[in-house]
Amino acid sequence: MATQDIIDETLDESFPASDPPSWTPIQRAGAPTQNLQGDTMAVQTQKADGRSSTSMSREQQGKHGDRDALIKGLNDDLAGEYQAVIVYNHFAAKLTGPFRKELRALFQGEITDELGHAQFLADKIATLGGEPTREPRAVPTADSPREMLEQAIALEKQAIAGYDERIQQAEEFGDIGLKVDLENQIADETRHKEEMERILAGWDQ
């Protein structure tokens, strides 16, 4: 066999055509090192931070909206308390008839309680960053003691309904202290209403 044939045969046995040689690429000196895993984690972190910031922004906006709605509702309640003070003072002055003394004392006692409610509401509105209203609701009129009692009962029912709504808003806002204070005011208004209902129930007997 010729020398060239021996060399060719040796090469074919060492490097078969079906098994091409493999090698490990060598990093060139000074070339930047690629860190695909680190880059991927950084992108994922940025996306997560973006979603977190968006969620926090929406939560803050919702909280701000809840505060504004709560302040508006509390101001409506405050206007109702101012209304009640004026109404009870007006009725106490206009009373006539055989039950004037008793009803006058009842209405004057209501004034003290309603003023306390009004002061609490004004303080809370200011604490929340709002401006307490200075305007009462429209003041109804009545001529007879019976009409006065009926108007007073209607005012108490309106106050209770308003405080019920405000309790839900306070709970959604996360102000549990306000929720408890409003429940106490509902208890006061309920006692007022029930006392006047009992007087009115026996009016014609």
For residue 111, is it within any domain? yes
Domain count within the chain: 1
> Would you say residue 156 lies in a domain?
yes
Q: Is residue 35 part of a domain?
A: no
DSSP per-residue letters across 77-110: HHHHHHHHHHHHHHHHHH--STTHHHHHHHHHHH
Per-residue model confidence as pLDDT tens digits over 57-81: 555 555 666 999 999 999 999 999 9
**pLDDT band at 47; cut points 50, 70, 90:** low
Is 115 within a domain? Answer: yes
Contact of 141 with 191, CB cutoff 8 Å: no
Q: Inform me whether the pLDDT recorded for 40 exceeds 80.
A: no
Q: Which domain holds residue 181?
A: 62-201
pLDDT band for position 41 (cuts 50, 70, 90): low
Cβ-proximal residues to 129 (8 Å cutoff; 6+ apart), any chain: 67, 71
Is residue 104 a part of any domain in this protein?
Answer: yes
Average pLDDT value for residue range 41-56: 55
- Residue 79 is encoded by which pair of tokens? 């206007």
193 found inside a domain: yes
Q: Minimum mean pLDDT among 35-39, 87-91, 163-167: which range?
A: 35-39
Residue 185, domain CATH: 1.20.1260.10
Residue predicted with more confidence, 43 or 124:
124
Please provide the average confidence, as pLDDT, over all residues in the chain: 82
Is residue 40 in some structural domain? no
- Average confidence (pLDDT) over 36-42: 56
Q: What are phi and psi of 99, to 5 degrees?
A: -105, 15
Question: Is 110 within a domain?
Answer: yes
